[in-house]
Amino acid sequence: TGLCGPVTPEARRTPAAAAPYVEVAEAEQAAGNRETALVAWREVLRWDSRNPRARAALKALCRGAPTTSARTGPEEEAAADSLLSG
C-alpha cells in the first residue's frame, strides 16, 4: 500500500484543481524524485479520478517502469482503476 495504495477521490471531480499537481508531478518525475512524483500524481487522481496521465504515471511508478507514454488502453485502465477506492 502506501504511496501505491488506493486513492480516495474527492466527492466532486475538479480537473482544474488537479492542474497544478500535474505540473509538479511531471517535473518531479522528470527529475527522478519518485516519492514526490507519486504524492503529486495521487493528488491529481484525488481531484480528477479520470486523468489518464496520472493513471499511467502511477501505474508505471508503482511498477518501477519508465513512463514514456501516458496513453492508456483497456489493460492500463483496469490496472489504474484498482488505484481508486470507493
What is the pTM assigned to this prediction? Answer: 0.74
pLDDT of residue 69: 42
Query: How far is it, in rounded angstroms, from Cα 84 to Cα 14?
Result: 16
Beta strands in the chain (DSSP E): none
Joined together, the cell numbers standing for residue 21 give 499537481
CA distances from 36 to 1, 29, 41, 48, 80 (A): 16, 8, 9, 18, 19
3-state secondary structure of 40: helix
Per-residue model confidence as pLDDT tens for the chain (86 residues): 589 999 999 999 999 999 999 999 999 999 999 999 999 999 999 999 999 999 999 999 999 865 544 444 555 455 555 555 44
